[in-house]
């Protein structure tokens, strides 16, 4: 089995300080959280930017500050969000890709997202995929429901995205596929043999799906974007606390955790 790649989804677009007092918001806070997570075993950080008032933004200048501050602290792979927040325009969402980060997310379809609709028109997503190719950015395909994986396989055949695919199964969004073992097993069964996958279980699904991924040879995403709790009713003290737990479980199961350098090799990225 490959070493385990842990992604820390540090901030997201939706979580507030009222829900999680330790949520990193400013570029310095996000960079500090990234460094703590890297030390705890994360090899990728999934980054969303926020304005000083806490509202989500895809502002390129703020992303630049975040990336620079992270790179000053550690070698972790920076994956920018192109999902942004519900309601943002495609042009806004794509902005951080022009900073040529190592990775970016690429959503493979539209999904109801709580009370909103997370719009991902195929023609916009094609533009996102082309931009990532142009800038040498490795896409992580965000799969919220099974049809999105079917769409990804169709895109692969048409040459719109490249092998080997790296996908993130985001399971448990209200409106998307459930955060269950059955959902994960089905999605995994549809992947091409050379694909890599990670799972982002939402809320209470974060830990059980993460443990399943460790056992099945997948990779794991944890962090406040998807879940603010350590256990039922107990808030996590930091993103790094969630990373540490997954790293500890994986090591206990004799599956070592990948460094950023090892993660780049596993994902077929340039050193
Ligand atoms: N905030 C969600 C609407 C991504 O980062 O690519 C979308 C999202 C996905 O978080
Ligand atoms: Zn995100």
* pTM score, whole prediction: 0.98
Q: Closest Cα partner for 228 from 10, 69, 20?
A: 20
Q: What is the pLDDT at residue 51?
A: 98
Q: What is the pLDDT at residue 65?
A: 98
Q: What is the pLDDT at residue 203?
A: 98
Q: What is the pLDDT at residue 117?
A: 98
Helix, strand, coil share (%) of the chain residues, nearest 5: 40, 20, 40
> Ligand 1 centroid to 83 CA: how many Å?
4
> Ligand 2 centroid to 55 CA: how many Å?
14
In degrees and rounded to multiples of 5, residue 176 shows phi and psi of: -110, -165
Q: Closest Cα partner for 163 from 185, 191, 127?
A: 191
Q: Closest Cα partner for 80 from 46, 109, 114?
A: 46
Whose structure tokens read 């090799």?
A: 265
> Ligand 1 centroid to 107 CA: how many Å?
8
Kind of pairing between the strands at 229-231 and 234-235: antiparallel
Q: What is the pLDDT at residue 53?
A: 98
Contact 42, 7 (CB under 8 A): yes
Q: What is the pLDDT at residue 194?
A: 97
Q: Cα–Cα distance between 167 and 148 in angstroms, integer? A: 10
Q: Which residues of the chain have pLDDT under 50?
A: none
Q: What is the pLDDT at residue 173?
A: 97
In degrees and rounded to multiples of 5, residue 103 shows phi and psi of: -140, 160
Q: What is the pLDDT at residue 16?
A: 98
Among all ligands shown, which has an atom nearest to the Cα of 84? 1
Q: Cα–Cα distance between 138 and 118 in angstroms, integer? A: 22
Contact 135, 166 (CB under 8 A): no
- Euclidean distance between the first and the last CA atom of the chain, given in angstroms as a whole number: 21
With a Cβ cut-off of 6 Å, ligand 1 is lined by 12-14, 81-83, 85-86, 105, 107, 113, 118, 142
* 113 CB-near residues (< 8 Å, 6+ apart): 86, 173, 174, 175, 176
Contact 108, 132 (CB under 8 A): no
Q: What is the pLDDT at residue 69?
A: 98
């Amino acid at each position: 089995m490959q070493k385990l790649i842990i992604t820390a989804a540090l901030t997201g677009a939706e979580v507030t300080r009222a829900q999680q007092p330790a949520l990193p918001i400013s570029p310095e806070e996000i960079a500090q959280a990234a460094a703590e997570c890297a030390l705890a075993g994360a090899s990728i950080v999934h980054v969303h930017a926020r304005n000083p008032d806490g509202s989500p933004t895809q502002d390129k200048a703020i992303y630049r500050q975040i990336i620079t501050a992270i790179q000053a602290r550690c070698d972790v792979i920076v994956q920018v969000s192109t999902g942004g927040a519900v309601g943002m325009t495609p042009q806004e969402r794509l902005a951080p890709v022009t900073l040529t980060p190592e990775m970016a997310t690429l959503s493979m379809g539209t999904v109801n997202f709580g009370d909103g609709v997370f719009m991902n028109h195929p023609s916009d997503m094609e533009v996102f995929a082309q931009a990532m190719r142009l800038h040498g950015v490795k896409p992580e395909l965000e799969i919220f429901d099974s049809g999105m994986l079917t769409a990804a396989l169709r895109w692969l055949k048409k040459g719109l995205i490249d092998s080997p695919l790296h996908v993130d199964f985001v399971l448990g969004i209200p409106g998307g596929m459930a955060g269950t073992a059955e959902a994960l097993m089905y999605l995994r069964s549809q992947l091409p043999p050379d694909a890599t996958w990670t799972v982002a279980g939402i809320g209470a699904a974060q830990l059980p799906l993460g443990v399943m991924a460790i056992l099945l040879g997948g990779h794991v995403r944890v962090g406040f974007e998807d879940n603010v709790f350590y256990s039922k009713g107990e808030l996590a003290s930091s993103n790094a606390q969630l990373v540490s737990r997954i790293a500890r479980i994986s090591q206990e199961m004799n599956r070592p955790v990948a460094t950023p350098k090892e993660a780049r090799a596993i994902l077929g990225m340039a050193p």
